[in-house]
Structure 1
Amino acid sequence: MSDEMASCKLSLVKAIRMMERIDLLDMNGHISCRVAGGDGRFLINARAASRASLTTSDVVLCNADGTPVPGAPEPPSEVYIHTEIYRLRPDVQAIVHNHPHWQTVLGIADLPLKPVFSIGSFSQFIPYFERSSLVNERAMGEELARALADNRAVQIRHHGSVLVGNSVEEVFATAVFMEENAKKQYQAYLVNRNHRVLEGENLKRTQETNWSSKIVRKVWRYHEEKSLISGHLNGLQADER
């Protein structure tokens, strides 16, 4: 195994453990990252593995069509979310599919996500995919990828979210603050349906100053350190258990 693949596996396992700790993943949900080489292969957490105790041995190497390499465990049934987005979006290096509470509530209420919180101000123009069942067929995966288009996220109404980015760290940070923005939007709506939304030049500058690779890394380190302190990152490698 290359050093790059080993590093990607470890980041993926950390991200899933950290997202489970803050209730952005439960028994379901998955994260993937591309493998360097240009052949379309990617890593993803195994379908049957617990998100709370995932180890690097529970990460599956899949071919571009979603089939696991020989001897690997079974990937999630919604692996086609990943295959079709990677196929249509060569710029995407990592994907997360989860079932965040506040975003899903807003979708059920037919309230589009709006930028209301500084570090979550990228939450605008997020399209909806209206087929709420499992995306467990290639054709549905392609439909979802087309609904995503060139955006960083798509909401599956009544179901969850799909987020894309340049790295596992970036999709992790995006997931954290997209949900925080949705929570604040929901609570503001309860207080005042005509609540304030970031807009115009203020929105543009807020987006520009509140999102960068340095901020992504800061978010990652913060959650990594909290998870280390709490013990949620114990035994990441299978031989450490």
Structure 2
Amino acid sequence: MNNMDEKALKLQVAKAVRMLENIQLLDMNGHVSCRIPGADRFLINSRKASRASVTAADIVMCDLDGNLLEGDSEPPSEYHIHSEIYKKRSDVFSVIHNHPHYQTVLGIADIAMKPVFSIGSFVDDVPVYEKSSLVNTREMGAELAEMLGGGMTVQLRHHGSVVAGDSVQSAFARSVFLEENAKKQYDAMLLGHGIRVLEGENLHRTRESNWQPSIIQKIWTYHEEKASKQGALQGLID
């Protein structure tokens, strides 16, 4: 990979952080990473950088043990989430740790997330990691990666969520619609009449038709343009 490719990836990671903060999936904490194709290294927003104003220069490079290889600041203390998933899953190229409101509320209430919304229909038996503290040790990161298994999502009880993807765009899109699905599930439950969950052939076809590369790109482009109009992407490149 040449330097231009790495620069483009750093910009993409910084943009994803800004966009997730803009829709309140990240707050002062949370992180986005991207594996560098063909290398045992990954990019991640630095610990010190504000999620609201992170720039491409704030994206650091680490090896799979979390050692800083490039950048002027250390990675987040929870880098183990990312490094341990990358060690276990060669098919994962991006990991996002969010602090979503509705998914966390459902977890607090001990209510399992169910597929209730078309674009969120990929939700399926999301495992719950019960340790709610910072995932700041290799052992905890390995536990979480083991719980993720071959899936793409783990809920952290009382804490947040972890989302994996084969690209930054796909992990971003999944993050957005995990929360949207949880919000619709929460709102429907408030009506007190039970909820209708997608199932059977209807669920299968809904998943198949609503989770295509073109839709992932459409989700990314929509949020990129929205964030840009709102001024949330200004100054991404120093």
- List structure 1 runs of 4+ shifted beyond 4 angstroms: none
CA RMSD of aligned residues (A): 1.0
Range with bigger deviation, 110-119 or 69-78: 69-78
Aligned mates of 2:164, 2:59 — CA distance in 1: 19
Instruction: Work out whether 1:228 is the aligned partner of 2:233.
Output: no
Instruction: Work out whether 1:162 is the aligned partner of 2:145.
Output: no
Instruction: Work out whether 1:187 is the aligned partner of 2:187.
Output: yes
2:33 alignment partner AA: S
- Which residue number corresponds to residue 72 of structure 2? 72
- Which residue number corresponds to residue 93 of structure 2? 93
- Which residue number corresponds to residue 113 of structure 1? 113
- Which residue number corresponds to residue 9 of structure 1? 10
2:102 alignment partner AA: W
CA contact (8 A) 2:61 2:71 kept: no
Cα distance, 1:193 vs structure 2: 4.9
After superposition, the C-alpha distances for 1:158-179 in whole angstroms (9 at most, x for unaligned) are: 1110000011111111000000
Cα distance, 1:128 vs structure 2: 0.6
Cα distance, 1:63 vs structure 2: 1.1
After superposition, the C-alpha distances for 1:196-241 in whole angstroms (9 at most, x for unaligned) are: 0100000000000000110000001101111111111111111xxx
After superposition, the C-alpha distances for 1:47-75 in whole angstroms (9 at most, x for unaligned) are: 01000000011001001101111553110
Q: 1:11 to 1:71 in 2, by over 3 A?
A: closer
Q: 1:208 to 1:54 in 2, by over 3 A?
A: same
Aligned mates of 1:203, 1:3 — CA distance in 2: 41
2:49 alignment partner AA: A
Instruction: Work out the number of aligned pairs and report it.
Output: 237
Aligned mates of 1:106, 1:71 — CA distance in 2: 37
1:43 alignment partner AA: L
- Which residue number corresponds to residue 20 of structure 1? 21
- Which residue number corresponds to residue 38 of structure 2? 37
Aligned mates of 1:122, 1:27 — CA distance in 2: 28
Instruction: Work out whether 1:219 is the aligned partner of 2:219.
Output: yes
DSSP 3-state at the match of 1:69:
strand
Aligned mates of 2:190, 2:36 — CA distance in 1: 44
Structure 1 stretches of 5 or more lacking a match?
none
Aligned mates of 2:72, 2:66 — CA distance in 1: 12
- Which residue number corresponds to residue 147 of structure 1? 147
CA contact (8 A) 2:60 2:71 kept: no
Structure-2-length-normalised TM-score: 0.97
2:153 alignment partner AA: A
Q: Percent identity?
A: 57
Aligned mates of 2:56, 2:74 — CA distance in 1: 14
Aligned mates of 2:113, 2:193 — CA distance in 1: 14
Structure-1-length-normalised TM-score: 0.96
Aligned mates of 1:226, 1:70 — CA distance in 2: 31
CA contact (8 A) 2:120 2:180 kept: yes
